Chain A
Amino acid sequence: MNLTLKVWRQKNAQDQGSFATYAVRDISPDMSFLEMMDVLNEQLIAQGVESVVFDHDCREGICGMCSMFINGEAHGPDRGVTTCQLHMRKFKDGDTITVEPWRAKAFPVVRDLMVDRSAFDRIIQAGGYVSVNTMGNLPDANATPIEKHDADAAFDAATCIGCGACVATCKNASAMLFVSAKVSQFALLPQGQVEAADRVRNMVHQMDLEGFGNCTNTGACEVECPKGISIENIARMNREYLKASITA
């Protein structure tokens, strides 16, 4: 299939940036979106144009690096996938595809389609952990049974890959789904209970400092989340924060 691409080009963080239009030909429907971008890049290099810079690494949907806003949607039109798992069979011959970086004040553009998501790391630094040092004599792993339902729910929350699609897709650029997934994982496990109140207060505080927007419960994040993380986690974080604020 032959396609027209409108790709955001921006030399660096200071540059204004603009869309450039490119044509790619003979794209196989079995290619992933990033492989299509590889074809574009090889073509650009042949023409003496610098290739389009984008984040990508594992190309199997788990590392969370890839981050393209395609035709107005985070990770494109398919559901439950990252950009690297989006396949060209989801597009039609002759389509024009717009490709943009994540847009948020907290995610400044580094170059072209690549953004800086270190805000997420700082939110984790604020409390996204259990304060346990490395020890060879911890209690046995089976010492505390955990109800399967809770363990499974904690796992579901923990599958967040930190790609930032929730922020990118949210009309308010809110990071609530990301933050609440981590808060929920620990809130559901006995290991996380000890620090639960401080954790939620500190992580929310950091989230606010980073300049993310506020949640208006549109639910767009859970639709676009490649891992299908539920906004039930946001409700849980709301509960946890309320509890922590009242009892603190």
Chain B
Amino acid sequence: MSSKLNSRIPEGPIAEKWTKHKGTIPLVSPANKRRIDVIVVGTGLAGSSAAASLAELGYNVKAFCFQDSPRRAHSIAAQGGINAAKNYQNDGDSVFRLFYDTVKGGDYRSREANVHRLAEVSSSIIDQCVAQGVPFARDYGGLLDNRSFGGVQVSRTFYAKGQTGQQLLLGAYSALERQVAKGRVKMYARHEMVDLVVVDGKARGIIARNLVTGELERHSAHAVIIASGGYGNVFYLSTNAMGSNVTAAWKAHKKGAFFANPCFTQIHPTCIPVSGESQSKLTLMSESLRNDGRIWVPAELEDAKAIREGRLKPTDLPEEKRDYYLERRYPAFGNLVPRDVASRAAKERCDAGYGVNKTGEAVYLDFSAAIMRYGKEQANLKGMPNASEAEIRALGTKVVESKYGNLFQMYEKITDENPYVTPMKIYPAVHYTMGGLWVDYNLMSTVPGLFVAGEANFSDHGANRLGASALMQGLADGYFVLPYTVGTFLADDIRTGPISTDLPEFVEAEKAARARFEGFLKAKGSTPVEVFHRRLGKIVWDKIGMARNEAGLKTAIAEIRALREEFYRDVKVLGGMFEMNPELDKANRVADFMELAELMALDALTREESCGGHFREEYQSEDGEALRQDDAFAFVSAWEFTDNDPGKATLHKEDLVFENVKLVTRSYK
């Protein structure tokens, strides 16, 4: 292991590590907490829950978000649910099983101790949210309902229709606003972190741009928590929000925080396919749909062609002419294989010419079987043994509507097709990034005092995240991990006193930020930022997307470097610095994406194996399954920014030690 990386995993058996660690973390007395300031960047599940919890403990918290309100962070768009090892269904779930599933689902590239802690606190999250008034789905007995998600064989997912992320975020947002009302949190909405300030080797503040006035502001604190989400928008088209960006994390990276596993990106199998050139984003259809939807393409090429040309309707194709390829290839898990497996399988079929929309990049997600199954159930319940097919279909449609109504409605609004009648068309899209800033067991980065939570860190999901685990991790980090672990750093700061924003490090950082923004304005080129972003996205999607190979990655690096050079020369940003100027903000974000993209390619090139979301075409079995190289690559790649060039980053390796889970080839057959 690199000497610069210390994962600080506590000693002892895995099930006792967290309890023991919590018991030995130095405490900060309430009187002293009042003298300590903490900055939280981002107000998604991780950020707002951390800000609220730290404020409850007594720290002075400053929270930042670029949106107009903390309630709008993109956690809100998470649909399906949140996992917890409650075992309410009595189907054999346990903390260990959730831990095991997550490590396995992550293709054995995550840190055992972190994942086990996540599984341990998962139960408390549900208790906390219910106490906050989060309206989870309930059954007729008044108890919480669960459903099943990809990659697991138990029902441990708690949900609120298709809006679980919204309900959980609003719960955390409420807790945050409660602290704002008390004056414990000072909220800075429409502010974007544009640099990290490091004083004497410790993270002591940030430079933030007030997006309304354009002013650069200096904010100091004793510790900084980055919870700014993932970097999926490097692909241009993704299910992320338009504003989601890597800038906070990337700026921290450039100030010394190592970036781990950037090539681990998740392509979600069930999104609405791309329809046209001017498309700005992709919309996810929750994985929960795979509980009841069956995925298929035509079994014969002529039929696929006829469907693409509009000569044949999918509903006219008889059963035997359909290829339910997931059920065929993975009989044990069927349509509920993990995301990476399902995505690659869809790509494989479409590349082979079986795609079903105009672009040839779509497969069907069909609910007709589920509608009939539920319909029959209802008919029996209602004492209609001789119900006609139409009656059964109507009853079944109602059941499906109650489960997924809002998703179906969303689909219809976007595509103008009725998914109750004709199967949905779906295609994989970028959804989540497992990679992120490297953190130790305390969620602290390689910059002392800089903590990283939620999707912005790398820690829990390895090379592939299981469905309904992102919400779990975000809230675990914010509610139940950081409030304890910040003490490991802050206990030494009780005598530090307020940090002055007049320190030379703040002055320098502000100056540099200002020069960067002025640089974009001065370029006076001819191409809008959006065009550069779109071009970057195409390179990343084509060459660092669902399948990667050495030649492609090398080309990608060259292309990204050329694009970056062109960007600084030819970007066209109108307007001024000291005003609301979204184009300028976008330029700043895209500039960082262009640097990150190169690091992603470098990371993908270095990792000569296939694992989880990282599929190197050179490393696959005969039937196209991913081949891990555990002997050579069972490590976390932590990249250190070097020589002011993302292409020259230095690789540090954190070896992954598996003491509780045996490494096997993942099989969902």
- Residue numbers of A with Cβ under 8 A of B are 11-12, 28, 30-32, 34-35, 38-39, 42, 45-46, 48-51, 53, 55-65, 78, 80-81, 85, 87, 89, 110-111, 114, 116-118, 120-121, 124-126, 128-136, 138-142, 145-148, 151-152, 154-155, 158-159, 161-162, 185-186, 189, 191-192
The answer to whether residues A118 and B280 also contact, given A62-B166, A159-B166 and a CB cut-off of 8 A, is no
Choose the segment among B217-225, B287-295, B334-342, B578-586 that binds chain A (4+ C-beta atoms closer than 8 Å). Answer: B578-586
Complex contacts, A161 vs chain B, CB 8 Å = 76, 166
> Which residue of A34, A55, A87 contacts B68 across the interface (Cβ within 8 Å)?
A55
Complex contacts, B56 vs chain A, CB 8 Å = 133-134
Nearest CB in chain B: distance from A163 CB, A: 10
Give complex CA distance A192, B88 in Å.
24
Q: Which residue of A lies closest to B73 (CB)?
A: A63
Complex contacts, A31 vs chain B, CB 8 Å = 276, 278
Choose the segment among B379-387, B406-414, B542-550 that binds chain A (4+ C-beta atoms closer than 8 Å). Answer: B406-414
Q: Which residue of A lies closest to B279 (CB)?
A: A35
Asked if B133 and A192 sit within 8 Å, CB to CB, the answer is yes
Give complex CA distance A46, B130 in Å.
51
Complex contacts, B128 vs chain A, CB 8 Å = 132, 134-135, 138
Q: Which residue of A lies closest to B575 (CB)?
A: A50
Give complex CA distance A32, B415 in Å.
11
Give complex CA distance A124, B176 in Å.
10
Complex contacts, B32 vs chain A, CB 8 Å = none
Could you name 12 residue pairs across A and B whose Cβ atoms are closer than 8 Å?
Answer: A45-B583, A50-B575, A57-B74, A80-B413, A87-B416, A117-B68, A121-B69, A134-B479, A142-B143, A148-B139, A154-B135, A158-B167
Query: Which of A58, A114, A154, A158 counts the most B-chain CB atoms under 10 A from its CB?
Result: A58
Asked if A38 and B67 sit within 8 Å, CB to CB, the answer is no
Does B394 count as interface, using CB distance less than 8 angstroms? no
Q: Which residue of B lies closest to A202 (CB)?
A: B181
The answer to whether residues A148 and B140 also contact, given A38-B278, A53-B580, A134-B479 and a CB cut-off of 8 A, is yes
Complex contacts, A35 vs chain B, CB 8 Å = 278-280
Asked if B574 and A162 sit within 8 Å, CB to CB, the answer is no
Give complex CA distance A65, B190 in Å.
12
Nearest CB in chain B: distance from A46 CB, A: 7
Asked if A129 and B241 sit within 8 Å, CB to CB, the answer is no
Asked if B574 and A45 sit within 8 Å, CB to CB, the answer is yes
Q: Which residue of A lies closest to B129 (CB)?
A: A141
Nearest CB in chain A: distance from B470 CB, A: 15
Asked if A48 and B243 sit within 8 Å, CB to CB, the answer is no
Q: Which of B266-321 contact A (CB under 8 A)?
A: 275-276, 278-281, 283-284
Give the A-B contact count at a CB cut-off of 8 A. 220
Q: Contact mask B117-142 → A, CB, 8 Å, 1/0? A: 00001001011111111111111111
Does B160 count as interface, using CB distance less than 8 angstroms? yes
Asked if B409 and A80 sit within 8 Å, CB to CB, the answer is yes
Complex contacts, A129 vs chain B, CB 8 Å = 132-133, 174-175, 177-178
Nearest CB in chain B: distance from A247 CB, A: 22
Complex contacts, A48 vs chain B, CB 8 Å = 574
Asked if B71 and A57 sit within 8 Å, CB to CB, the answer is no
Given contacts A50-B583, A124-B174, A145-B138, 8 further A-B contacts (CB under 8 A): A60-B283, A61-B410, A111-B579, A129-B177, A129-B178, A130-B174, A145-B142, A162-B69
Asked if B416 and A116 sit within 8 Å, CB to CB, the answer is no
Does B180 count as interface, using CB distance less than 8 angstroms? yes
Does B494 count as interface, using CB distance less than 8 angstroms? no
Complex contacts, B479 vs chain A, CB 8 Å = 134
Complex contacts, B423 vs chain A, CB 8 Å = none
Give complex CA distance A152, B67 in Å.
29
Asked if B275 and A30 sit within 8 Å, CB to CB, the answer is yes
> Which residue of A32, A59, A64, A192 contacts B71 across the interface (Cβ within 8 Å)?
A64
Complex contacts, B265 vs chain A, CB 8 Å = none
Asked if B68 and A116 sit within 8 Å, CB to CB, the answer is yes
Give complex CA distance A118, B177 in Å.
12
Give complex CA distance A38, B529 in Å.
12
Asked if B76 and A185 sit within 8 Å, CB to CB, the answer is no
Query: Which of A39, A51, A63, A145 counts the most B-chain CB atoms under 10 A from its CB?
Result: A63
Asked if B180 and A125 sit within 8 Å, CB to CB, the answer is yes
Complex contacts, A130 vs chain B, CB 8 Å = 131-133, 174
Asked if A162 and B181 sit within 8 Å, CB to CB, the answer is no
Query: Which 3 pairs, one residue from A and one from B, show the smallest C-beta to C-beta distance?
Result: A145-B142, A129-B174, A125-B181
Complex contacts, A154 vs chain B, CB 8 Å = 133, 135
Complex contacts, A148 vs chain B, CB 8 Å = 138-140, 142
> Which residue of A114, A134, A192 contacts B483 across the interface (Cβ within 8 Å)?
A134
Nearest CB in chain A: distance from B585 CB, A: 11
The answer to whether residues A57 and B177 also contact, given A134-B53, A135-B128 and a CB cut-off of 8 A, is no
Asked if B416 and A114 sit within 8 Å, CB to CB, the answer is no
Asked if B212 and A185 sit within 8 Å, CB to CB, the answer is no
Give complex CA distance A51, B573 in Å.
10
Give complex CA distance A155, B168 in Å.
12
Asked if A131 and B170 sit within 8 Å, CB to CB, the answer is no
Asked if A136 and B278 sit within 8 Å, CB to CB, the answer is no
Asked if B124 and A136 sit within 8 Å, CB to CB, the answer is yes
The answer to whether residues A139 and B582 also contact, given A45-B528, A89-B416, A131-B178 and a CB cut-off of 8 A, is no
Q: Which residue of A lies closest to B572 (CB)?
A: A45
Complex contacts, B121 vs chain A, CB 8 Å = 136
Q: Which of B430-445 contact A (CB under 8 A)?
A: none
Q: Contact mask B233-270 → A, CB, 8 Å, 1/0? A: 00000010111000000000000000000000000000
The answer to whether residues A151 and B242 also contact, given A42-B530, A59-B280, A132-B131 and a CB cut-off of 8 A, is no
